[in-house]
Amino acid sequence: MKQEALAFFQNTGLTAFASVLFFIAFAIILYGVFQKKNRKYYEQMSQLPLEKEQCHER
C-alpha cells in the first residue's frame, strides 16, 4: 500500500488534475464573489457590524 500510495502521488496526471481542480474552485469563488450585480448585497453585508444597538444614554 505504501508503494501504491507513493505511486499515486507520483502520478503527474493526477496531481495536474488536482491543481486544475483547485484552480477551478478558486476561479469559481472569485467569479461568484466579484460579479457586478452583487455589489449592493456586499455593501449591505459589510455594514452588518456597524448597525447600532440599543445603549444606555450617556
Partner 1 sequence: MERKLEKFFYDDNIVKMFIMATLFWGGAAFLVGLIIALQLAYWPLNLNLDFLTFSRLRPLHTNAAIFAFAGNAIFAGIYHSSQRLLKTRLFSDFLTKLHFWGWQTIILAALITLPLGFTQGKEYAELEWPIDLMITIIWVVFAVNFFGTIARRREQHLYVAIWFYIATIVTVAMLHVVNSIEIPVSFLQSYPVYAGVQDALVQWWYGHNAVAFFLTTPFLGLMYYYIPKAVNRPIYSYRLSIVHFWALVFIYIWAGPHHLLYTALPEWSQTLGMIFSVMLWAPSWGGMINGLLTLRGAWHLLRTEPIVQFLIAAVTFYGMATFEGPLLSIKSVSALGHYTDWIIGHVHGGALGWNGFLAFGMIYYLVPRLWGADGMYSKKLMSYHLWIALTGILLYYISMVSAGITQGLMWRAISPTGQMTYPDFVQTVNAIRPLYWVRVFGGLLFITGYFIGIYNIWKTIAMGKKVSPVEQQAYALTFKDDSNENAHRKLEGLGTVFTVLVLVSVIVGSVIEILPTLSIHKHLPQDEQILPYTALEQLGRDVYVTEGCYVCHSQMIRTYTPDVIRFGPSSTIAESMYDHPFQWGSKRTGPDLARVGGKYPDLWHYRHMVDPRSMNNQSIMPAYGWLETKKADFYSLRKKLSVLRTLGVPYTDEQVSQADIWAEKQAEEVAAQLEKDGAPAGLKDKKIVALIAYLQCLGKKAKTGTDTSKWNNFPFKKVAGGEQ
Q: Contact positions toward partner 1, by CB under 8 A?
A: 1-3, 5-6, 8-10, 22, 25-26, 29-30, 32-35, 38, 41-51, 53-56, 58
Buried b (16+ CB within 10 A) or exposed e, 25-49: eeeeeeeeeeeeeeeeeeeeeeeee
Q: Indicate the residue among 13 and 54 with the shorter CB distance to partner 1.
A: 54
Q: How far is the CB of 16 from partner 1 (least distance, A)?
A: 14
Q: How far is the CB of 23 from partner 1 (least distance, A)?
A: 11
CB of 15 to partner 1, least distance (A): 10
Q: Left if phi > 0, otherwise alpha if psi is -120 to 50, otherwise beta: which for 21? A: alpha
